Amino acid sequence: MRNLDVCKVTEAVKDMCISVNYALSEDMEKCMMESTEKEESPLGKQILQQLQENLRIAKQDQIPICQDTGMAVVFLDIGQDVHFTGGNLEDAINEGVRQGYTEGYLRKSVVRDPLERENTKDNTPAVIYYNIVPGDQVKLTVTTKGFGSENMSRIFMLKPAQGEEGVKDAVIQAVKDAGPNACPPVFVGVGIGGTFEKAALMAKQALTRPAGEHSEIPYVKKMEEELLERINQLGIGPGGLGGKVTALAVNINTYPTHIAGLPVAVNMCCHVNRHAVRFI
């Protein structure tokens, strides 16, 4: 059994909330640079260059990449041999978010009640997911999800007979409907299978996959590649002003499901796909 003080979780969450809002990970930066080379539209290329300049300034001056600094979503893969000490784990996570958004001068965007709309003034609470795994390590994934793209996400409860083509059509329709509102170029996270809520969770997790990394399942990898090509033929383009680069990646996760169902969730994310992974 390994004892782990929750203060280490707080410190990690604080640092990650700040760092992901100031700079993209290396894989995301590389993806953005490659997109500029692929874009054929002069206006689209100009927009991508402006986005990269914005990324450069944010990283250099240590200021937020975007004014929407998101709602913190935290995934924990907790080794079953870990024993947390020093306090409540969930409180420790939220304290990390509070410190990160306060000390990092990040916009506080969370309201206490979805209808009463009173701001919590520290961007808590986070949305937290726990997963128990073998071992004595904790894998911490933090993503700060902006709602311009989040609001464009969709869930489809398809009939099994609609099959793979139905899934592809649903993803394409979600991107079409989002148009410029998801701040393209976008990352498209897709969850297929499970239940209503499992599909949505898989779609969110798919967005945290390193850019350029495909599914290990051959037919899923093929779907990812095909969907990316089809999406980039829609002509939406950077900023929604036309062009070849509408999406930077399509990441798909799958899970077993019921004989009567085919749930499909599409979680949209703008080019500021902010996330980080840390082991503690």
Convert the pLDDT of each residue in 180-215 to its tens digit: 999 999 999 999 999 999 999 999 999 999 888 999
> Please, what is the average pLDDT of the chain?
96
CATH tag, 148-273: 3.30.1330
Instruction: Identify the band that residue 233 occupies on the pLDDT scale cut at 50, 70 and 90.
Output: very high
- pLDDT at position 32, please? 86
pLDDT at 118 exceeding the cut of 90: yes
- pLDDT at position 25, please? 84
Mean pLDDT of 257-272: 97
- pLDDT at position 28, please? 82
pLDDT at 33 exceeding the cut of 90: no
Under 8 Å between Cβ of 175 and 186: yes
Q: Say which residues have a Cβ less than 8 Å from residue 182's Cβ, sequence separation at least 6.
A: 148, 149, 152, 175, 268, 269, 270
Alpha carbon 114 to chain centroid distance? 21
**Domain parsing of the chain, residue ranges:** 2-20+65-145, 148-273
Instruction: Identify the band that residue 26 occupies on the pLDDT scale cut at 50, 70 and 90.
Output: confident
- pLDDT at position 146, please? 95
Given the candidates 1.10.8, 3.30.300, 3.30.70, 3.30.360, the CATH classification of the domain at 2-20+65-145 is 3.30.360
Name the helix (H) or strand (E) containing 170: helix 163-178
Instruction: Please state the pTM of the whole predicted model.
Output: 0.95
pLDDT at 37 exceeding the cut of 90: no
Q: Say which residues have a Cβ less than 8 Å from residue 228's Cβ, sequence separation at least 6.
A: 247, 249, 250
Mean pLDDT of 257-264: 98
Instruction: Identify the band that residue 224 occupies on the pLDDT scale cut at 50, 70 and 90.
Output: very high
